[in-house]
Amino acid sequence: MIVKKRIESFSHTIRGIADFIRSGANAKIQLVAALAITLAGFLLGFGPYDWIAVGLCIGMVL
């Protein structure tokens, strides 16, 4: 029963993300920017605290 509820919860989450990407006017731009920052972080060798800051900033924007 618990597994079924978790699967259902994840399906709602995935549908919500897909809806955000489809209907959000700036969603695609924000996702591209988040991917670019993530790639830059890997290339520049961000440390653990840098990743925490980047994750928090991306989370607040999205």
Instruction: Place 36 in a pLDDT band, splitting at 50, 70 and 90.
Output: very high
Report yes or no on 12 lying in a domain.
Answer: no
Determine if the pTM surpasses 0.85: no
> What pLDDT does residue 27 have?
85
> What pLDDT does residue 21 have?
82
Whether 40 and 50 have beta carbons less than 8 Å apart is answered as: no
Instruction: Place 62 in a pLDDT band, splitting at 50, 70 and 90.
Output: confident
pLDDT exceeds cutoff 90 at 41:
yes
How far separated are the first and last CA of the chain, in Å rounded? Answer: 32
What's the total number of domains in the chain? Answer: 1
Structural tokens at position 44: 């520049």
Question: What are 6-35's pLDDT values in tens digits?
Answer: 888 889 889 988 888 888 888 888 889 999
* Domain of 29, in residue numbers: 25-62
Report yes or no on 47 lying in a domain.
Answer: yes
Whether 50 and 41 have beta carbons less than 8 Å apart is answered as: yes
